[in-house]
Amino acid sequence: MNWPHAIILPVVLPLMTGALLLLAERRAERLVPAITMLSVLAQLAIAATLAVQAAQGQVQAYLLGNWQAPYGIALALDRLAALMLVLTALVALASLLYARNRDANRGAHFHALFQFQLMGLNGAFLTADLFNLFVFFEVLLIASYGLLLHGLGRARLRASIHYVVFNLAGSSLFLIAVALLYALTGTLNMADLAMRVPLLPAGDALLIRTAALLLLVVFCVKAALLPLYFWLPETYGSATAPVAALFAIMTKVGVYTIARVYTLVFGDGGGLAANVAWPWLAWLALGTLALGAIGALASTRLRGLVAYLVVASAGTLLLALGLGRAETVSAGLFYLVHSTLMAAALFLIVDRVTSLRGEAGDRLQPAPVTTSPALLGAAFFFCAAAAGGLPPLAGFLGKALLLDAAIGSALAVPTWAVVLLAGLGTIVALSRAGSVLFWRSPATPASVPDAARSTPGQFAAIGLLVAAMAAAAAWAGPLHAYTSAASRQLFDPAAYVGAVLGARPVPAAIDIRREMRERGGAKGDKR
Amino acid sequence: MNLLIASALGVLTGCGVWLMLRARTFDVILGLTLLSYAVNLFIFTMGRLRVGAPPILDPALPPTLQQYADPLPQALVLTAIVIGFAMTALLLVIALRAALQVGSDHVDGDRDDPNREEASR
């Protein structure tokens, strides 16, 4: 299939489904889960098709409203964007399978918000325009506010206030950076920016660097980098499990936008602001990684622990970007796939474990469990091994690739030290948590409460994510070939710029202006 | 006019940041609102300040940049205003709900509540 409009589908489909669901909620409530499921399956199929197209190596541009590129908004699909789309659809499918019939019914509008969230995510991955990126950020944020509040409760309300205020402040900074860039270059199209930023006069050096670094702050708010990650453990720790699993992809939006903007616009060809982000990013990422591991060790609750693992994985990814070479970025993208699946799976498993422990909840202390959760324990062990970066899983390969690629860079020693020590810390934290939860907790064969019994959907969701992780390890070769190609594509902005700016509007079948003139003339004659 | 706009931006941002750092949700919301005013004004200024120039093509004027105001920042501001407005409304609802449920408008919930630690676990 090479239908030119396929690129817009990942945005339009969830939008339409979300709108339809808002209507269907009132009239035909029983259809709602089926509609969402169909839509997410279709999105997965579309994302896979687009990935197959992107794997051929060409950047495809789509001109919204048929406007020539720097004037209208363009969408662009390359290998990285396609990879993110597939990953989003996969995590969404698992999250939805898990939420069906159980968590989705704990509040209103879950499915509609879910679709709008997907729309925001897909749009952010596809857009080639900075202001449009802002709009998609807001779409995904406003949906995420609703999803975070899903189920309500004190802790969730408290976390929401922090999360919303923090992100609103971030949005303000985003707008300031965007306005500065527009004032300097007169464009917001990323490909056009890549052409114009190098041409700026030397007098604008300070301003363009300010704009670039302000933008970095905004993306780091999303990606949870060192001084800006404090919202994450609380937010992810208090969201309902399927929502937290979906949020696992949200920090990756920040990582994606950093990878996109700081290679395309402020990369090697960035003129006065060339490679402005990498030195900051690498050191801060090292700090994030270290603190993520320390936070995981210090957590007294299981969900907090997993949330800190998300922080640590964001640190690893940003470190891979911060080293600023095609090989490290390739390793980082490889690790991104794995760590997203891992975080989502862990959030779901933690929720199952918690429901078995009655009043003890997810506190890390021995407490009687109602059944002996053999299968769950195995899944937890698998994900813990994945999180710690143990062979033979993809996490190990990702980290090994990263360490290998870091040799020879100026930061090789701190990178090796921090990545390995953080891995050790993660393993210690998870093995301690696992032994408390599964071995030191006596099984009391009491009657299992209804909420503790897993639905087939919940098993399927965890199984899907675990299987996807295993697949990422089994087909690590092709996946790595794909991420290296994606990374090479990132470091060769000329292809992206050429595709976006070179895309020509489709000639109109009817010349509307002439038609209007003629009709207007005809009307005038009649009168 | 440059001085006036610049000082207005400075005052709005300063007040906004100060209010945002306070501990009550209402102050924080006011601060965010002021900050978003500042940002909107900033975007507007980034299209260069010009008085009395139309942003829409007029056949009576020669089609040079000297005759027109840049319409794009105006469109951006419009979008930013709409989004900022919606977000503020949402934040107000959340803050109100939290205040009713927790019984305090402190951003961290009720500081004096002895059960707070218990409830947050």
pLDDT in tens, A298-340: 988 888 889 999 999 999 999 999 888 888 999 999 999 999 9
Judged by DSSP in three states, B108 sits in coil
Query: Which among A157, A168, A363 has CB closest to B87?
Result: A168
Nearest to A75 by CA among A203, A196, A189, A246: A189
- Tokens representing residue A40 in the block: 């997410």
The minimum CA-CA distance between A280 and chain B, rounded to whole Å, is: 25
- For residue B43, the model assigns a pLDDT of 92
- For residue B121, the model assigns a pLDDT of 38
- Tokens representing residue A100 in the block: 């069906």
- C-alpha B105, offset from chain centre: 21
Domain CATH number, residue B105: 1.10.287
- For residue A353, the model assigns a pLDDT of 83
Asked whether residue B72 is domain-assigned, the answer is: yes
* Chain A CA closest to residue B73: A179
Asked whether residue B117 is domain-assigned, the answer is: no
B97 touches chain A (CB under 8 A): yes
Q: For residues A453-492, b (16+ Cβ closer than 10 Å) or e, as one string? A: ebeebbbbbbbbbbebbbebbeebeebbebbbbbbbbbeb
- Where does the pLDDT of residue A525 fall: very low under 50, low under 70, confident under 90, or very high at 90 and above? very low
The minimum CA-CA distance between B80 and chain A, rounded to whole Å, is: 8
- C-alpha A454, offset from chain centre: 27
The minimum CA-CA distance between B94 and chain A, rounded to whole Å, is: 7
- Tokens representing residue A35 in the block: 């509609």
Query: Which among A152, A161, A172 has CB closest to B25?
Result: A161
Instruction: Answer yes or no: is the ipTM higher than 0.85.
Output: yes
Instruction: DSSP letter for A342, please.
Output: H
Q: Which of A26-35, A434-443, A475-484 has the lowest mean pLDDT?
A: A434-443
Asked whether residue B46 is domain-assigned, the answer is: yes
Asked whether residue A501 is domain-assigned, the answer is: no
What's the rounded Cα separation, in Å, for the pair A22 and A28?
Answer: 10
Q: Which of A54-58, A108-112, A503-507, B61-65 has the lowest mean pLDDT?
A: B61-65
Residue A64 pLDDT greater than 80, yes or no: yes
Nearest to A469 by CA among A100, A90, A209, A103: A90
What's the rounded Cα separation, in Å, for the pair A270 and A111?
Answer: 42
Judged by DSSP in three states, A163 sits in helix
H/E stretch holding A251 reads helix A250-264
Over residues B100-112, mean pLDDT: 74
Asked whether residue A411 is domain-assigned, the answer is: yes
List the beta bridge partners of residue A129: A189
Contacts A145 to B, Cβ<8 Å: 90, 94
Is A17:A92 a contact under the CB 8 Å cutoff? Answer: no
Asked whether residue A255 is domain-assigned, the answer is: no
- For residue B68, the model assigns a pLDDT of 83
Residue B28 pLDDT greater than 60, yes or no: yes
Is A172:A215 a contact under the CB 8 Å cutoff? Answer: no
Mean pLDDT of chain A, nearest integer: 86
Q: How many other C-beta atoms are found inside a 10 Å radius of the C-beta of residue A431?
A: 14
Is A310:A232 a contact under the CB 8 Å cutoff? Answer: yes
Is A310:A288 a contact under the CB 8 Å cutoff? Answer: no
- Where does the pLDDT of residue A68 fall: very low under 50, low under 70, confident under 90, or very high at 90 and above? confident
Q: Give how many domains chain A has, as a whole number.
A: 1
- Tokens representing residue A106 in the block: 């704990």
H/E stretch holding A138 reads helix A130-148
Asked whether residue A152 is domain-assigned, the answer is: no
For A35, A198, A251, the CA distances from A321, given in Å and listed in that order, are 38, 22, 14
Which of A165, A184, A365 best tests the B interface by mutation, with the highest count of B CBs <10 A? A165
Q: Give how many domains chain B has, as a whole number.
A: 1
Asked whether residue A121 is domain-assigned, the answer is: no
What's the rounded Cα separation, in Å, for the pair A447 and A344?
Answer: 29
Contacts B47 to A, Cβ<8 Å: 182-183
Asked whether residue A363 is domain-assigned, the answer is: yes
Asked whether residue A288 is domain-assigned, the answer is: yes
H/E stretch holding A98 reads helix A79-99
* Interchain contact, B87 vs A171, CB within 8 Å: yes
- Tokens representing residue B56 in the block: 């829409």
Q: How many other C-beta atoms are found inside a 10 Å radius of the C-beta of residue A509?
A: 6
* Interchain contact, B35 vs A172, CB within 8 Å: yes
- For residue A370, the model assigns a pLDDT of 60
Residue A163 pLDDT greater than 80, yes or no: yes
Apex A326 CA angle, A322 and A328, nearest 5: 50
B78 touches chain A (CB under 8 A): no
Over residues A349-370, mean pLDDT: 75
Query: Which among A155, A161, A363 has CB closest to B94?
Result: A161
* Interchain contact, B87 vs A138, CB within 8 Å: yes
Task: Write out the residue range of the structural domain in which residue B102 sits.
Answer: 2-55+66-111
Is A369:A441 a contact under the CB 8 Å cutoff? Answer: yes
Residues with Cβ < 8 Å from B15, sequence gap 6 or more?
B31, B34
Asked whether residue A167 is domain-assigned, the answer is: no
Task: Write out the residue range of the structural domain in which residue A458 sits.
Answer: 277-474
Over residues A382-395, mean pLDDT: 81
Apex A282 CA angle, A305 and A255, nearest 5: 65
- Where does the pLDDT of residue B19 fall: very low under 50, low under 70, confident under 90, or very high at 90 and above? very high
Residue A526 pLDDT greater than 60, yes or no: no
* Interchain contact, B42 vs A168, CB within 8 Å: no
For A134, A146, A167, B95, the CA distances from A172, given in Å and listed in that order, are 10, 20, 9, 20
Residue A219 pLDDT greater than 90, yes or no: yes
H/E stretch holding A377 reads helix A374-388
- For residue B120, the model assigns a pLDDT of 43
Residues with Cβ < 8 Å from A182, sequence gap 6 or more?
A188, B43, B46, B47, B72, B73, B76
Asked whether residue B60 is domain-assigned, the answer is: no
Query: Which among A154, A161, A183 has CB closest to B46?
Result: A183
- Where does the pLDDT of residue B47 fall: very low under 50, low under 70, confident under 90, or very high at 90 and above? confident
